[in-house]
Amino acid sequence: MEVLNTFYHLVPITPVQGLLYAFVAMGVMIPFRLLNVPDLTAEGAFPLGGCLVAALITAGLHPFLGTLAAAGAGFLAGAVTALIHLKFRVHSLLAGILTITMLWSVDLRVMGKPNTPLFGLPNLYDWIDPAIMQSLALQGGLLLGALVVLVLLLWWGLHTDVGLALRGVGANSQLAPALAVDSTRYIVVGLGLANAITAAAGALLAQSQGYGDVNMGFGMLINGLAALIIGEAIIGRRTLLRQLCAPVVGSLLYYQLSSLVLSFGLMPSDLKLVTGLFVLVTIGWPILRGRARAGSIAG
């Protein structure tokens, strides 16, 4: 009963958390699934968005403009990773690690210190409606509405000529030049877009929690990947719309599962281990099952 009681009290909080981090899962999905270019930059773009919006709001900039600037900075971070990968022939994962490492110093330079409080300063939620910060239901409604708009915009954009070319690069980057498609341009734009979404999520979190911190992005990538895997397992990814909805569904369920795990007495610090093991098992299980089948056939 104690477990159920603890979980019951966490239920109102985790949907809002899941909706916010669904933006991160979306930012993880675009390079992994649509572009077929594994990217780790989300781990650095998320705190970049939070730190930049905190510094800009503290300096007196309007929170809406600060959030847009954070998204723009995330786009540049993704573009840098793409250019390192393409121009210097560095693997995309290593390129992402290099970008994350550099962004940590950028975050410190932007804020001038490891964290910046925003208590008492205007934020995006207050600008839209002061009642939002006082209600989890209103916060969830706002984030859900923003996610619906994002999914619809991506669905529409990926059906345009530009979107089809981007998906074509992800499907076969070797064939793209033969079709007069500049794969470099689309990979830069794709990674930039993914990390702009992630940085915007970091900006929203900084404003909702009341501070920006250089370490606020730790573990975001693995959480986003876990949410993506869960979402794809539930609704699949046979159509573009399902692929775009999978991060949202997966993020909502992932954070409910995290609450359930915490209800059993695990420490919050244990969640990274549990999440990592989940992703490892999910990725490794099909391989192990295939080997077992091959062994049985050979036997």
- What are the beta bridge partners of residue 85? none
Q: Cβ atoms within 10 A of the Cβ of 219, count?
A: 15
Tokens (6 digits) for 220: 């975001």
Judge whether 254 lies within some domain. no
List, run by run, the mean pLDDT of 10-residue segments along the chain (299 residues).
59 86 96 94 97 97 97 98 95 96 96 94 95 93 96 97 91 76 92 98 96 91 90 91 96 86 77 81 71 63
pLDDT at 227: 92
Residue 218: phi and psi, rounded to 5, are -65, 120
Q: Cβ atoms within 10 A of the Cβ of 19, count?
A: 23
Round to whole Å and give the CA distance between 164 and 196.
Answer: 20
pLDDT at 262: 74
Judge whether 17 lies within some domain. yes
Judge whether 287 lies within some domain. no
Name residue, tokens 């869960």: 230
pLDDT at 13: 77
pLDDT at 268: 76
Judge whether 160 lies within some domain. yes
Q: Cβ atoms within 10 A of the Cβ of 216, count?
A: 22
Round to whole Å and give the CA distance between 290 and 283.
Answer: 12
Q: Domain residues for 82? A: 2-218
Judge whether 239 lies within some domain. no
Round to whole Å and give the CA distance between 223 and 271.
Answer: 10
DSSP letter assigned to residue 89: -
Which pTM does this prediction carry? 0.92
Ramachandran sector of residue 123 (left: φ over 0; alpha: ψ -120 to 50; beta: rest)? beta
pLDDT at 68: 98
Number of domains in the chain: 1
Judge whether 288 lies within some domain. no
Angstrom CA distances, 13 to 130, 140, 265, 266, 271, stand at 19, 9, 18, 18, 17
**Residues 246 and 231: beta-carbon distance below 8 Å:** yes
pLDDT at 265: 76
Residue 211: phi and psi, rounded to 5, are -165, 155
Q: Cβ atoms within 10 A of the Cβ of 263, count?
A: 17
pLDDT at 245: 97
**Amino acid at the residue 124:** L
Largest CA distance in the chain: 71
From 170, 163, 228, 186, select the one nearest 24 (Cα to Cα).
Answer: 228
pLDDT at 258: 82
pLDDT at 283: 73
DSSP letter assigned to residue 1: -
**Residues 259 and 253: beta-carbon distance below 8 Å:** no
Judge whether 279 lies within some domain. no
Round to whole Å and give the CA distance between 83 and 19.
Answer: 31
From 81, 71, 129, 136, select the one nearest 103 (Cα to Cα).
Answer: 81
